[in-house]
Amino acid sequence: MSDSDTARFDMTRNEARVVIAALSDEEMTASGDRGMRLQNVQDHLAAEFDFDEHRGVEKGEMAAEDDTGWLDNDAIFGGNDPDDTEEIELSRAEADVVTDALTDFELDETHENAGTAENVRQRIADSFDDR
């Protein structure tokens, strides 16, 4: 299987938040192609789920922002359902950086969303294994 192979799987809005958090953690130390892939997947998920990146948001506005600085537009404008689902397509190379980031996120015991990260990581892996 080449890096250009792609797979599709469903992801909820809440799962996208967890993936973006994991990718943000990983991005801090990544460089080159890996760093670019991490950023591209974050941007892709942000577009799919209508998140915008805002840094330095006033504390009064933090309720609609996750810990990565990504603002959920639906939370601001209504209609924020954490179970809203989108079909996501990733290339093999993108999936590899995502699953690596999710693995690291799972191992960090300070993250309360480790179970969600594990579930998404396994679904991504399964979507490529089933091909």
Model confidence over 81-129: pLDDT tens digits?
667 899 999 999 999 999 999 999 998 867 788 999 999 999 999 998 8
Q: What is the pLDDT of residues 37-49, one digit of tens each?
A: 999 999 999 888 8
Structure tokens belonging to residue 27: 């991005």
Q: Which of 56-60, 73-77, 97-101 has the highest average model confidence (pLDDT)?
A: 97-101
* CA–CA distance, 61 with 34 (Å, rounded to integer): 32
Both structure tokens of 90: 């990733």
pLDDT at 78: 44
Is residue 58 domain-resident?
yes
Q: Are 117 and 14 in contact (CB under 8 A)?
A: no
Burial (CB count within 10 angstroms: exposed 0-12, middle 13-18, buried 19+), residue 90 = buried
120: containing domain: 7-129
Number of domains making up the chain: 1
Model confidence at 130, in pLDDT bands (50, 70, 90)? low
Q: Specify if 80 maps to a domain.
A: yes
Contact 42, 20 (CB under 8 A): yes
Determine, yes or no, domain membership for 2.
no
**What is residue 56's predicted lDDT score, i.e. its pLDDT?**
40
Q: 97 lies in a domain?
A: yes
| Better-predicted residue by pLDDT, 11 or 2 | 11
- Does residue 89 sit within a domain? yes
Q: Is residue 120 part of a domain?
A: yes
Q: Does residue 1 sit within a domain?
A: no
Closest CA to 90 of 52, 58, 43: 43
The whole-number pLDDT of residue 131 equals 57
Burial zone of 103 (CB within 10 Å; 0-12 exposed, 13-18 middle, 19+ buried): middle
The stretch 45-73 carries a mean pLDDT of 56
